[in-house]
Amino acid sequence: MNDEEKKWHDSEPVVPGGESIFGVYCQQGVCPTLRLPAKCPECGQVAVHMFYYDFGRGRGGGWAWCSSCYGWGHGSAFIPKWWTNVPGITEDMLTATPVYLDDVRDSIDEHWNDLLDHMVSLPPVDSPVGMN
């Protein structure tokens, strides 16, 4: 593990029995209505970013991380139908720890938000339950 990877930590629930960054954003179904960056459940900063990579047939990986406190989560995922891979990011660039993804977070956020801007009939969601 290099020095850049060492500063990152697996996101922990904010309160016992609570949710991690990955859990709050990826497992509560708010992804399709969430503009990025979003508020971090760990440190409270508006520095959470999300990314999917579709390996094909709707299966891939999902990442959620905070650029402020370096909490992160990653896992296998069913890729949402609305998602398209970010141009220029290829599978060989990805690791579980979001070191590279954080370097290109602005373009990831722009891609995410552009996809949302082109979707219709989704109710707005400001933040996940318990994050206001």
Q: Cα–Cα distances in Å, from 93 out to 46, 75, 103?
A: 25, 16, 12
**Which of 68, 71, 56 is closest to 25 using CA atoms?**
71
pLDDT level of residue 57 (50, 70, 90 thresholds): confident
Q: Cα–Cα distances in Å, from 84 out to 21, 87, 88?
A: 22, 9, 12
CA torsion 103→48→121→128, rounded to 10°? Answer: 170
pTM of the model: 0.78
- In the chain, the percentage of residues whose pLDDT exceeds 70 is 68
Mean of pLDDT values over 97-105: 95
Q: What share of the chain is helix, strand, coil (3-state, %, to 5)?
A: 25, 25, 50
- On whether the CB atoms of residues 53 and 77 are closer than 8 A, the answer is no
Q: Distance (Å, rounded) from C-alpha 20 to C-alpha 45?
A: 14
What would the pLDDT profile of 6-54 be if each residue is shown by its tens digit?
A: 688 776 655 555 566 666 666 545 566 678 998 888 888 999 999 999 9
